[in-house]
Amino acid sequence: HCDNLGAALRRASRFFRIFFEDQAQLSVQVEGEYALVGYRDQSADAAAPTAQIELYAMAMWHRFCAWLCGRGLALEEVQFQGAAPATGSFDSLFSCPLNFGQPIK
Protein backbone atom coordinates (compact mmCIF):
# COMPACT_ATOMS: atom_id res chain seq x y z
CA HIS A 1 0.00 0.00 0.00
CA CYS A 2 3.00 2.31 -0.44
CA ASP A 3 3.34 4.79 -3.28
CA ASN A 4 6.84 3.62 -4.24
CA LEU A 5 9.67 1.27 -3.31
CA GLY A 6 11.41 3.89 -1.14
CA ALA A 7 8.30 4.24 1.03
CA ALA A 8 7.95 0.45 1.24
CA LEU A 9 11.58 0.08 2.34
CA ARG A 10 11.23 2.79 4.96
CA ARG A 11 8.15 0.97 6.30
CA ALA A 12 10.09 -2.32 6.32
CA SER A 13 12.90 -0.57 8.22
CA ARG A 14 10.49 0.59 10.94
CA PHE A 15 9.00 -2.91 11.16
CA PHE A 16 12.49 -4.44 11.38
CA ARG A 17 13.31 -2.22 14.38
CA ILE A 18 10.34 -3.63 16.32
CA PHE A 19 12.17 -6.93 16.56
CA PHE A 20 15.80 -5.87 16.73
CA GLU A 21 15.66 -2.41 18.34
CA ASP A 22 19.13 -0.82 18.34
CA GLN A 23 21.17 -3.99 17.95
CA ALA A 24 20.48 -4.32 14.22
CA GLN A 25 19.29 -1.67 11.82
CA LEU A 26 17.95 -1.67 8.29
CA SER A 27 18.51 1.68 6.62
CA VAL A 28 17.22 3.19 3.41
CA GLN A 29 18.43 6.27 1.54
CA VAL A 30 16.66 7.16 -1.71
CA GLU A 31 18.19 9.63 -4.15
CA GLY A 32 16.24 9.97 -7.39
CA GLU A 33 16.00 6.57 -9.03
CA TYR A 34 18.75 5.07 -6.84
CA ALA A 35 18.51 3.60 -3.37
CA LEU A 36 21.16 2.67 -0.84
CA VAL A 37 19.81 -0.11 1.36
CA GLY A 38 21.94 -1.12 4.29
CA TYR A 39 21.91 -3.54 7.16
CA ARG A 40 24.07 -3.03 10.20
CA ASP A 41 24.49 -5.32 13.18
CA GLN A 42 25.89 -3.22 16.04
CA SER A 43 27.27 -6.33 17.75
CA ALA A 44 29.16 -7.57 14.66
CA ASP A 45 32.95 -7.57 14.52
CA ALA A 46 33.93 -5.60 11.40
CA ALA A 47 37.17 -7.59 11.07
CA ALA A 48 35.33 -10.93 11.03
CA PRO A 49 34.38 -12.55 7.73
CA THR A 50 30.95 -11.72 6.41
CA ALA A 51 28.59 -14.52 7.41
CA GLN A 52 27.03 -16.43 4.56
CA ILE A 53 23.61 -15.70 6.06
CA GLU A 54 24.29 -11.96 5.56
CA LEU A 55 24.90 -12.50 1.85
CA TYR A 56 21.79 -14.64 1.60
CA ALA A 57 19.69 -12.08 3.50
CA MET A 58 20.78 -9.20 1.25
CA ALA A 59 20.03 -11.33 -1.82
CA MET A 60 16.56 -12.03 -0.42
CA TRP A 61 15.93 -8.31 0.26
CA HIS A 62 16.94 -7.57 -3.33
CA ARG A 63 14.57 -10.20 -4.71
CA PHE A 64 11.78 -9.01 -2.40
CA CYS A 65 12.18 -5.45 -3.69
CA ALA A 66 12.07 -6.69 -7.29
CA TRP A 67 8.90 -8.62 -6.49
CA LEU A 68 7.32 -5.51 -4.94
CA CYS A 69 8.08 -3.55 -8.11
CA GLY A 70 7.01 -6.32 -10.44
CA ARG A 71 10.30 -6.20 -12.34
CA GLY A 72 13.99 -6.91 -12.00
CA LEU A 73 16.13 -4.33 -10.22
CA ALA A 74 19.71 -3.96 -11.41
CA LEU A 75 22.38 -3.55 -8.75
CA GLU A 76 25.49 -1.49 -9.36
CA GLU A 77 27.40 -3.02 -6.44
CA VAL A 78 26.92 -4.68 -3.07
CA GLN A 79 29.17 -3.76 -0.16
CA PHE A 80 29.80 -5.61 3.08
CA GLN A 81 31.61 -4.33 6.14
CA GLY A 82 33.17 -7.69 7.02
CA ALA A 83 35.89 -9.54 5.16
CA ALA A 84 35.05 -11.94 2.33
CA PRO A 85 33.78 -15.34 3.51
CA ALA A 86 36.46 -18.03 3.61
CA THR A 87 34.49 -20.37 1.36
CA GLY A 88 31.86 -20.10 -1.34
CA SER A 89 31.27 -18.10 -4.47
CA PHE A 90 28.50 -15.56 -4.13
CA ASP A 91 28.82 -13.48 -7.30
CA SER A 92 25.83 -15.22 -8.89
CA LEU A 93 23.54 -14.06 -6.05
CA PHE A 94 23.79 -10.44 -7.14
CA SER A 95 25.16 -10.24 -10.72
CA CYS A 96 27.25 -7.23 -9.77
CA PRO A 97 30.57 -6.54 -8.02
CA LEU A 98 30.75 -7.60 -4.36
CA ASN A 99 33.03 -5.48 -2.18
CA PHE A 100 34.10 -6.63 1.26
CA GLY A 101 35.84 -4.75 4.07
CA GLN A 102 33.93 -1.55 3.27
CA PRO A 103 33.32 1.31 5.72
CA ILE A 104 29.80 1.99 6.95
CA LYS A 105 28.13 4.76 4.95
Each residue of 43-100: pLDDT tens digit? 556 666 677 778 888 898 899 989 999 999 999 988 888 888 877 778 788 889 998 8
15 pLDDT exceeds 80? yes
Bridge partners, 97 (sequence order):
none
Distance CA 42, CA 87 (A): 24
Closest C-alpha to 78, from 35, 47, 41: 35
How far is C-alpha 50 from the chain's CA centre?
13
Distance CA 47, CA 82 (A): 6
Distance CA 54, CA 84 (A): 11
